[in-house]
């Protein structure tokens, strides 16, 4: 039975964790399916790991449409989430048009970066049958606003705003929330405060699901990896085995360990 939003909601209610990995092509989609990865994310991270840019900002809608098509052709079981790239959802009308393009080529939901200010857009998309995941905390498309890739929600006021924003986007109709680089305790509060599934990256083990960039979790990166990254290829004999190890680590909550999170 293919994984759906209903599946993910039921897993949250049962307290069962689920695994997500970024995916950009057909063969990796098939391999992740075989390994039992519940969710695939066609991430605008492709701008960095595939295209060689220093941020996600240069990624276009055509890039996202192309890679979503590639992944959809290889996907048979996983829930498929596609990123909406920089400035593709500046207005609700832009968001509707661009999200529809991703849904038409096989996405099951789309991901937007922001917070409470997205409520109107999320609401309109939900009414049109487009499930949304709202990416909060460290939002890479706003890297120049933040002044770099920094942990978000560290102060009491910032943490309270993150929790409030999560409640607002849920009420607006968001289907999922993704938290990036948020203190573990704050992510746990957000996850407990909403009924929709919450996915974490650098947000601790209390989130309902976990996501990693595929290149990172296979040890393919330049320089020092981010704190939350673990190389799951170590000790395995194949990439598929690495994916299986990641899924099991997420489900048993051995990953992320305390050292992968932030205080």
Binding site listing for Mg(2+): 44, 83, 113
Bridge partner residues of 137 (DSSP): 180
Binding residues: 44-45, 83, 111, 113
Contacts 24+ apart (CB under 8 A), 246-251: 246/19, 246/21, 246/37, 246/212, 246/217, 247/19, 247/35, 247/36, 247/37, 247/38, 250/17, 250/18, 250/19, 250/209, 250/210, 251/16, 251/17, 251/18, 251/19
Mark whether 97 is an active-site residue.
Answer: no
| Cβ-based neighbours of 141, under 8 Å, separated by 6 or more | 44, 56, 57, 85, 86, 113
* Residue written as token pair 């809608």: 61
SS3 136: strand
- Spatial distance between the Cα atoms of 212 and 134, rounded to a whole number of angstroms: 17
Assign 170 to helix, strand or coil: helix
Q: Is the peptide bond before 256 cis (omega within 30 degrees of 0)?
A: yes
Residue 102 in tokens = 């991703």
The β-bridge relationship of strands 209-212 and 79-83 is unpaired
From the candidates 38, 164, 180, 259, give the one annotated as an active-site residue. 180
| Alpha-carbon gap, residue 10 to 209, rounded angstroms | 12
Can you say which residues are annotated as belonging to the binding site for 3-methyl-2-oxobutanoate? 44-45, 83, 111
Side-chain half-sphere exposure of 101, counting CA atoms within 13 A? 18
- The catalytic residue positions are 180
């Amino acid at each position: 039975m293919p994984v759906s939003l209903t599946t993910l909601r039921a897993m949250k209610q049962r307290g069962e964790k689920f695994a997500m990995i970024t995916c950009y092509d057909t063969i990796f989609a098939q391999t992740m399916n075989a390994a039992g990865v519940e969710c695939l994310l066609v991430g605008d991270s492709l701008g960095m790991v595939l295209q060689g840019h220093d941020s996600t900002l240069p990624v276009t809608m055509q890039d996202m449409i192309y890679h979503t098509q590639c992944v959809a052709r290889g996907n048979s079981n996983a829930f498929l989430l596609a990123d909406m790239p920089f400035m593709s959802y500046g207005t609700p009308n832009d968001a509707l048009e661009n999200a529809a393009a991703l849904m038409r080529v096989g996405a099951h939901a789309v991901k937007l970066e922001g917070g409470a200010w997205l409520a109107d857009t999320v609401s309109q998309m939900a009414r049109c049958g487009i499930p949304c995941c709202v990416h909060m905390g460290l939002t890479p498309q706003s890297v120049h606003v933040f002044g770099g890739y920094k942990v978000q929600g560290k102060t009491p006021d910032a943490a309270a705003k993150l929790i409030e924003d999560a409640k607002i986007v849920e009420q607006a109709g968001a289907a999922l929330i993704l938290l990036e680089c948020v203190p573990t305790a704050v992510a746990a509060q957000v996850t407990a405060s909403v009924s929709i599934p919450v996915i974490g990256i650098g947000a601790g083990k209390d989130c309902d699901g976990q996501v990693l960039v595929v290149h990172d979790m296979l040890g393919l990166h330049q320089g020092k990896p981010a704190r939350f990254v673990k190389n799951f290829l170590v000790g395995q004999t194949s990439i598929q085995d690495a994916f299986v190890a990641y899924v099991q680590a997420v489900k048993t909550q051995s990953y992320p360990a305390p050292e992968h999170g932030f205080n």
